[in-house]
Structure 1
Amino acid sequence: MIQTLPMALPGTLVDLHRIDLSAPYSQGWGVKVDDVAADPTGGTYALYRVYRYTYGAADDEPDPGKADFGYRLLTRYSTDGEVLASALCCPDRPGGRSSAVASGVDMTLCVLPDGHLAVSAGPNHTTLIAPDLSRVVAAYHSEDRRPYPDLAPDDGFAASLSVTPSGRLLCGVSEYGVWKYGSAIPNIVGVADGELTATSKPVIEALASLDPEPSHQSDPGRHAHVVHRGAPIGPRNRPRPALTELVADEDRLSHWHDSRLGRPTPLADDLFVVPVLARTFRGGSRGQPFVFALVNDRGEMTGRLHGLHEWRDSPFTGFCWTVAGDPYRGRAFHLNRYGLYAWDRGGMLRARLDTETKTFKALTRFTLTACSPEGDLLLVHDKQHLVLRVPTPDDLTDLGACVEEALRAYARQRTALKKRWAPVDWHWTQTTAPVHRL
């Protein structure tokens, strides 16, 4: 079912900070999406942030109507698209309430097999939240610091999580010293076969790595729950050859130095898509090499998603890195400024919707976040703050017709939402659903 969902701000928050919803973002405030995920029952979760940072506000400004602020917002939607609840977390201004949610960079969502919502962030923060968003069940914090030998083992879990059909956890794990940087960057792809709960975290079996020799690593490594060949990962115990070593001849400029690991996504229980992206440049990076690698659960790179041209289909324009996997049907999807692409389990390109055409030009305004367990694409409109849920066909050659119908339905549903919600410059405000503070 095609759905359009508003990423709403709680009315109490708007009133507290006296947010001028009609003000342009150039005045120092804004709303930005982090991630959207769906659960097996048809419900949807959205994670986004609202902030105000102005030059005139002092750090100790007592009036919340004048003070700067920043929050992450979680919103839960029913199968019918109604807002069931919201949660405020991760305030980032001095003097604000503390949050039980571990905050960090590149925050993502994942609905675990037991129904709990996992919020992950760099370096390896993972927070478990009750399905109704009422409370934090557990938080695994990581320390973004150099792993000196005398430090205690790190208590984090993963920088990103995804779930396979059988309930395995596909994890992206950050490490210190990647490309000699003094902070933790995603570097390991692994799989955990146990349950992640409030009382225990499963062992992650490392399958692939980006930088084969990160600097300043202690021996053994601080990530005791991440193992390779039965022992914790460390400078001499990690997956080799690294993905960058396997594709070394494809980066002509930097030989994959300063490359980045995208969020891995499952294509099946035993097959995963791992984006590997060359370094970016200030003057533009279109045409830089990238690989959407296929890695199995034995750590072997078995292939890649084929059919993308480095220049014509570059994900570097707009930094569109996400690959969304539908592991129940063995398909992968990617949306960037040049098209929407779909592959089968073998990595063969089965559909390409060109955004230069009038029919699909509107897709350039959307960001792809994930696939639902039913195989629906979850898209976010970057300016109108709406989530569009697009059903996909069994035959990928019919993808164009399905997306065309979804875009027409989006226009109709958006009009209906405007009449019901009366947004201000595409900012939606809800006053009926409960708002929790986490």
Structure 2
Amino acid sequence: MSHTIPVRLPSALIEHHAIDLERRYTDGWGMRVDDVATAPSGDLYVLAYVYRSTGSWGDDAADIDPDATKANFGYTVLTKYAPDGTVSATAVSGQDRHLRQDTTYGGPKPGLGDDLWWAKGLCLLPDGTLAATGPDDHTHLITADLATVTARHTMPRRRHDDGPKNPFASWISATPGGRLLCTTGEYGVYNYGNLLTNIVSLTDQPLTADSKPTLRALVSMEAEPEKHTEADLRPDLLWRGEPVGMAHRPRPSLSEHLTQLEPTAGSFAWSDSRLGRPAVLREDLFVVPVFGHIYRGGSRGQRFAFVLVDDQGQIVGQLGGMHLHRDSPFTGHIFEIAADPVRGRVYHLNRYGLFVWTADGVRVQRLDLQDKRYKLLKHFTLRDCTPDGELILVHHTQHLMLRIPCPSTPGGLGPRVEDALRAYARERTALKKQLQPVNWHWIDHTTPVHRL
């Protein structure tokens, strides 16, 4: 199995919009990998975002250049890779109405971009269906071959906006037993008029194209969202059998719990906090990232926590062993975690270290990225932990995925990382000679492009 896999861009999309791959991203275009999901078979699903902004904006058609080679665009690119890194399917979908100029790869309401918002996360459901999720509890179900969108669950961003109101979740992760760990938004959190992610919940029934399960609330970020009304209640999001809303929600909230743990920090220590994407550590235990307010002038040293919550909504602890300043995930705003429920491990990679914890929250390893053996990890983002216990990392600028096999015993990750980084250097050189990337963009000339 290959250690290093290129993230491919379909040539049809590049040619259609005449994308100059030699240009810098500061010139108004870019590409990023938002998420990776791994199937038990070893197949990889990669969710990428490709965009260009030429400076022309507005809803009026007169403000838009009809020439596809000059127009703004924004696309989700979904790609399925075999375990050896070959591409088996590619699908694209137009997104933001301000970034979509023609109907070749996006129409008035295409694929994953209904209305204004787009997919940010992937989850492989137990039946093999792919769930693409995004802000404002948008969820789209896609067949495993990326051929068809079988269900759409969407929500207006603001409570008074027009549009369909059939939301599901902003993030989804599957447990080993097939349940779904989800996050959902609420109006009125911190007095905001739009949806902010505030509830962590669990389903006991499957999500399918024909049925949407009830979400059982486990814990909330903010205890009492201001200006939340009965009109904002969702019949599919319940706590103790009743819709979550106003004062009816799990207590204590995460912000209340964390404030109680550190009363000397003051009542504003966790004010305006946010939820990250939860991870499944065991069938009955989850890790919920919480991070404090992000300041424009820099937030290193701000409070953050990775809280352990069980499947009954009890807060049972948190991941330990991280320093607020020395290990801060606020540098680069890197709050992603990956969990291995089979072996009971949690992983986190930021600009300062690669961290490993056991299921009881004890930190067993920290690989210091100042160490020259691991320094290259600063250029990667941790995106997934496979069912086989491999970490999937994505290089920020070279658009390559790196597999790192983890040891079965805690604390032995260092040699595996060293070996993987050496293999990465060799395989990157071989791939560069074979595929001839343009400015580290890897072009797929053979796989047909399917529009979702």
TM-score by length of 1: 0.96
C-alpha distance in structure 2 between counterparts of 1:56 and 1:122, whole Å: 25
The worse-fitting range, judged by mean Cα deviation, of 82-91 and 168-177 is 82-91
Counterpart position of 1:107: 120
Deviation at 1:392, TM superposition (A): 0.6
Q: 1:392 aligns with which of 402, 406, 410?
A: 406
2:318 pairs with 1:304:
yes
Residue 142 of structure 1 aligns with an amino acid whose one-letter code is M
Deviation at 1:284, TM superposition (A): 0.6
Residue 17 of structure 1 aligns with an amino acid whose one-letter code is H
Contact 1:146 1:216 in 2 (8 A): no
Give the secondary-structure state (helix, strand or coil) at the position aligned to 1:408.
Answer: helix
Identical pairs, percent: 49
Contact 1:59 1:94 in 2 (8 A): no
Give the secondary-structure state (helix, strand or coil) at the position aligned to 1:30.
Answer: strand
Q: 2:334 aligns with which of 314, 320, 338?
A: 320
The RMSD of aligned alpha carbons is 1.8
Deviation at 1:91, TM superposition (A): 3.1
Gaps spanning 5+ residues in structure 2: where?
none
Q: Deviations over 1:188-234 (max 9, x none)?
A: 00110111001101111100000111122222643211100011111
Q: 2:279 aligns with which of 244, 257, 265?
A: 265
Q: 1:138 aligns with which of 131, 137, 151?
A: 151
Give the secondary-structure state (helix, strand or coil) at the position aligned to 2:230.
Answer: coil
Contact 2:405 2:416 in 1 (8 A): yes
The worse-fitting range, judged by mean Cα deviation, of 394-403 and 84-93 is 84-93
Residue 4 of structure 2 aligns with an amino acid whose one-letter code is T
Deviation at 1:244, TM superposition (A): 0.4
Q: Deviations over 1:54-100 (max 9, x none)?
A: 23788421111111111111110001111111111133335432312
Give the secondary-structure state (helix, strand or coil) at the position aligned to 2:35.
Answer: strand
2:382 pairs with 1:371:
no
Contact 2:93 2:113 in 1 (8 A): no
Q: 1:403 aligns with which of 414, 417, 420?
A: 417
Q: Deviations over 1:325-382 (max 9, x none)?
A: 1111111000000000010000001111000000000000000112111121111100
Counterpart position of 1:185: 196
Deviation at 1:434, TM superposition (A): 2.0
Counterpart position of 1:213: 224
The worse-fitting range, judged by mean Cα deviation, of 53-62 and 232-241 is 53-62
Number of residue-to-residue matches in the alignment: 436
Contact 2:76 2:118 in 1 (8 A): no
Per the alignment, do residues 418 and 152 of structure 1 end up closer, same or farther by CA in structure 2, a change over 3 Å counting? closer
Counterpart position of 1:416: 430
Gaps spanning 5+ residues in structure 1: where?
none
Deviation at 1:273, TM superposition (A): 0.2
Give the secondary-structure state (helix, strand or coil) at the position aligned to 2:412.
Answer: helix
C-alpha distance in structure 1 between counterparts of 2:160 and 2:279, whole Å: 28
2:140 pairs with 1:127:
yes
2:215 pairs with 1:204:
yes
Per the alignment, do residues 31 and 59 of structure 1 end up closer, same or farther by CA in structure 2, a change over 3 Å counting? farther
Counterpart position of 2:180: 169
C-alpha distance in structure 2 between counterparts of 1:120 and 1:361, whole Å: 32
Counterpart position of 1:18: 18
Per the alignment, do residues 94 and 59 of structure 1 end up closer, same or farther by CA in structure 2, a change over 3 Å counting? farther
Per the alignment, do residues 61 and 353 of structure 1 end up closer, same or farther by CA in structure 2, a change over 3 Å counting? same
Contact 2:197 2:274 in 1 (8 A): yes
Counterpart position of 2:372: 358
Counterpart position of 2:245: 234
C-alpha distance in structure 2 between counterparts of 1:218 and 1:146, whole Å: 10
Per the alignment, do residues 33 and 234 of structure 1 end up closer, same or farther by CA in structure 2, a change over 3 Å counting? same
Give the secondary-structure state (helix, strand or coil) at the position aligned to 1:396.
Answer: coil
Residue 133 of structure 2 aligns with an amino acid whose one-letter code is S
Give the secondary-structure state (helix, strand or coil) at the position aligned to 2:199.
Answer: strand
C-alpha distance in structure 2 between counterparts of 1:192 and 1:295, whole Å: 15
The worse-fitting range, judged by mean Cα deviation, of 254-263 and 358-367 is 254-263
Contact 1:195 1:202 in 2 (8 A): yes
Contact 2:156 2:163 in 1 (8 A): no
C-alpha distance in structure 2 between counterparts of 1:85 and 1:39, whole Å: 14
Contact 1:275 1:292 in 2 (8 A): yes
Deviation at 1:407, TM superposition (A): 0.7
TM-score by length of 2: 0.93
Q: 1:431 aligns with which of 437, 445, 451?
A: 445
Deviation at 1:154, TM superposition (A): 3.6
